[in-house]
Amino acid sequence: MYARRRHVYFWMMGACLVLFVGAWAVVRLFSMPVAVGMCVVAMVIPPFAAMMANRRGPEDRWWDDPSGDPKSDEWWDELDGKKRPRER
């Protein structure tokens, strides 16, 4: 799942670069308003690419899922207030 998100991110950022470079290398020679419009579209793509790359998938491990190490999980549960501290 991580690889698919990474590929989507790179495709979106590649499209952003193509729009930006194409706008000022080629399109501006024919139409300045279209070149500016292409840059505006290129400006909007990176935040959406970052959201797509950083979203959590259904099978991704979340921060509070158990790690599998009983001692570590017990320690974190104690810190989070889920369990009372052990008496020694």
Task: Tell me what pLDDT residue 85 has.
Answer: 60
**Cα–Cα dist 70/47, whole Å:** 39
Gyration radius from the chain CA atoms: 23
Q: Which pLDDT belongs to residue 72?
A: 79
17-36 pLDDT per residue, tens = 999 999 999 999 999 999 99
2 vs 36, residue with greater confidence? 36
Q: What is the pLDDT of residue 20?
A: 95
Answering whether pTM is above 0.75, one says no
Residue 23 maps to a domain: yes
- Please tell me the distance from the alpha carbon of residue 50 to that of residue 63, in angstroms, as a whole number: 19
- Give a yes or no: residue 51 inside a domain: yes
Residue 32 in any domain: the answer is yes
**What is d(CA 2, CA 55) in angstroms, rounded to the nearest whole number?**
10
Q: What is the pLDDT of residues 52-62, one digit of tens each?
A: 888 877 666 66
Number of domains in the chain: 1
**Parent domain of 9:** 2-57
Within a domain: residue 72? no
User: Does residue 75 belong to any structural domain of this protein?
Assistant: no
- Whether residue 9 is contained in a domain is answered as yes
